[in-house]
Structure 1
């Protein structure tokens, strides 16, 4: 048992433990079979660090309801996002493929606006579940194509969506409008837009009058979806934007578009620090609201709820040194702090409550996991391995290794295999390309680069970079 696992067990403390059980799929008529398939709710925070939750060790941020969810379920101590930045990480989750594949591998801007869209005929988690009879919805942030493009959520397996399609628009938690199924839904907020010469091309904004907070609207919409579909199997992708900052807001106000700084008003912190912590605690309360709704409707025992983050934290002020501890790095790094994220699962009943696992897993494992849950044949395209056995305490197949790409800052690649991480920097600049090697078992903070001491290990791992990377016209490492 490594240091992280020991600290994790201590952090769970003596929380109240309860258990729930999934109902098995029967061989009754089609309607009965559908209703007995497990519901799936995937809650994904935005830029929340590994150490921002109480159950993972957060010393100052209050998350009692997520901590209780952890006590009622299982937490993974070595779960990885798709990569260290938004769009490609989310693409990995939806497609079941790591970022070395030729789909959305980077945060590339696209026309008319938004990010590079998922291609047509992409097999997504939502598509597979919809084909099986699930009601599917996206509430929150998408980032994989706007309306009218091939990446429109309605073309990628979702029956409906409500929120932000464009990542830039999603910087503002109290925007002028949200998108619902291709249409703008205007809110009662007053915003200042960036001009077209700004890198956001006029799409960024910050609020000067806040009357409607997007997170509150998202939770209300989620409750409505759950209520309306309580008799059918459903997939709710609850992709919130907490605690992402608003880079277009004035300095010191980038975490301030939240109704209040409760319960941190009286803390001797900066406004940004108060806003950051308050956002996470606000989300924590919404997790409680959703879990309570499942219980009220009598479907909590047949609903898998997952909580995670899209990449490592990018927090302000003093929290910047806490959010990803004990790891090195933050969002946009391929060190552990940029890619290792919290992961909590509740709702399978066979899960031993209050447990944790060190099973090495990643976003691309979500597709085979839900396929196994829903009785869907796992597509050959996925790089993932179902982590359902690990959830249930059963023998678990392991990855040979994990692979990551990052296409900004000169290009980076990383491989994790058997507690070793090899990172390659400046991939797009061959004259500057270098590697760093770390033994995660004894150096979780990645402070001791072993490249010179262990050239044989470097030589062993180096071929995996070219093995797992597939060139595409859009995301290339070729100068």
Structure 2
């Protein structure tokens, strides 16, 4: 028995409107014969490798995600595009690693994926899919509020600016390039994220809390699925939890209700964090239930993953629930805990039930995989390999990366490569000493093997040097990203 291999980039396309979901007759007719799988990509924000039960979590309860894993495939060596949100999403959308992609960090200057650049969404839209992104955009700092629609999404509903997404009770959200006012009233404004004609993204702690953005997002995602049930669709459901409201230092883990978790003898931020994990699990289950109700679950690939490792903001301590599992490092590290992410793919008609893959892949592979599943040619010039053979139960046909590459511009900059069982990290970027770890024996990256394998250190340095393309937008900085 197998599950549908539609597991890559389903995202929760904002579905409050019907206009954005219209598919051209030519596009739909061209794909109606072999109807390609629907794709739902659910992306959690700052969820650690060890935060869900099927990846080792012992305290927090995630029954729906555990069931999803039993009904599909767990990827145990899958990586985010970066160790922070903006570049990680850029890698996912462009199919290019952080040495090549447009957005390589979180900065306030206007840098974004541009309309002329190929994206995951534009590839699927061209293939006849209705496309939507719902939730946190967070792909750089665009100088307009139509950026998601400009690069291939028929529909967008959420936060265009990543700092705006830190507020769970915003005064407004963006719907297809227009401001949608909410009923929340905020008393403390943040400093403007930049001098702009756009409205203040800022909002601090809401005095009047009525509409919790994550709840609005899942309702729109469900609506999008309902109105596109009869055509191929791609939903990018981009959550902004369990990220913290970084402006609330003591307890930025904001949720509408703690319910039974209020009785726990835990610090308040940890209760909020646990409630966020509970809600992530619940909302993923609601999407899976709707697919079954509509009779389309067999041909829908649902992917669940996270944009980077666990955070330590808003009063949350990643050690409290052992959020990075048996890995070293957290968000903003290039050790495994910062970039290896829990990844599940469910596709009942195609993906083997209760299966586990140690295939080494990363966010950049979503573009090639989506093109493969949609039946179109994979664009050239990408750092992307389709993992469809693995999903379809043919690991012998699976191509492999020679290496995976990451670079990060904070803290003096750092680079990392994964090649085979080896992982190398150089810090500072370009000039630092290279550490070398054998992940087959040293998952915690505790034992530097560089002195014993100078030839591998040299090879890792070549990979790093060859992978970095200079970009005037990206300079090494000492400050910390959000």
TM-score by length of 2: 0.88
User: Map of 1:226-375 to 2, 5 A cutoff?
Assistant: 226-249=225-248, 251-255=249-253, 257-315=254-312, 316-317=316-317, 319=319, 322-375=322-375
Matched, 1:179 2:174: yes
Cross-structure match for 2:419 = 417
Does structure 1 conserve the Cα–Cα contact (< 8 Å) formed by 2:44 and 2:242? Answer: yes
Instruction: Provide closer, same or farther for how the CA distance between residues 54 and 195 of structure 1 changes in structure 2, counting only shifts above 3 A.
Output: closer
Deviations 1:118-177 (A, max 9, x none): 123010010011111111111001112567649701110001100011110000112111
User: Map of 1:57-206 to 2, 5 A cutoff?
Assistant: 57-111=56-110, 116-144=111-139, 149=144, 152-196=147-191, 203-206=202-205
Q: Give 3-state SS (helix, strand or coil) of 2:112's partner.
A: coil
CA distance in 1, matches of 2:123, 2:31: 19
CA distance in 2, matches of 1:195, 1:141: 18
Q: Give 3-state SS (helix, strand or coil) of 1:237's partner.
A: strand
Instruction: Provide closer, same or farther for how the CA distance between residues 187 and 35 of structure 1 changes in structure 2, counting only shifts above 3 A.
Output: farther
- Tell me, which stretches of 5 or more residues in structure 2 are unaligned? 7-27
CA distance in 1, matches of 2:374, 2:191: 46
Deviations 1:339-374 (A, max 9, x none): 000110001523210110100000001011111100
Pairwise CA RMSD: 2.4
Cross-structure match for 1:438 = 437
Instruction: Please report how far the alpha carbon of residue 32 of structure 1 lies from its aligned counterpart in structure 2 after TM superposition.
Output: 6.7
Instruction: Provide closer, same or farther for how the CA distance between residues 381 and 253 of structure 1 changes in structure 2, counting only shifts above 3 A.
Output: same
Does structure 1 conserve the Cα–Cα contact (< 8 Å) formed by 2:310 and 2:324? Answer: yes
Q: Give 3-state SS (helix, strand or coil) of 1:99's partner.
A: coil
CA distance in 2, matches of 1:321, 1:143: 26
Does structure 2 conserve the Cα–Cα contact (< 8 Å) formed by 1:84 and 1:334? Answer: yes
Instruction: Please report how far the alpha carbon of residue 35 of structure 1 lies from its aligned counterpart in structure 2 after TM superposition.
Output: 7.9
Q: Which shows bigger deviation, 100-109 or 162-171?
A: 100-109
Instruction: Provide closer, same or farther for how the CA distance between residues 360 and 20 of structure 1 changes in structure 2, counting only shifts above 3 A.
Output: closer
Cross-structure match for 1:8 = none
Instruction: Please report how far the alpha carbon of residue 51 of structure 1 lies from its aligned counterpart in structure 2 after TM superposition.
Output: 0.3
Q: Give 3-state SS (helix, strand or coil) of 2:114's partner.
A: coil
Q: How many residues align?
A: 449
Choose between structure 1 and 2 for higher RCO, CA contacts under 8 A separated by at least 6 residues: 2
Instruction: Provide closer, same or farther for how the CA distance between residues 60 and 22 of structure 1 changes in structure 2, counting only shifts above 3 A.
Output: closer
CA distance in 2, matches of 1:146, 1:109: 6
CA distance in 2, matches of 1:205, 1:478: 26
TM-score by length of 1: 0.89
Deviations 1:201-244 (A, max 9, x none): 87252223321111111111011111111111111000011100
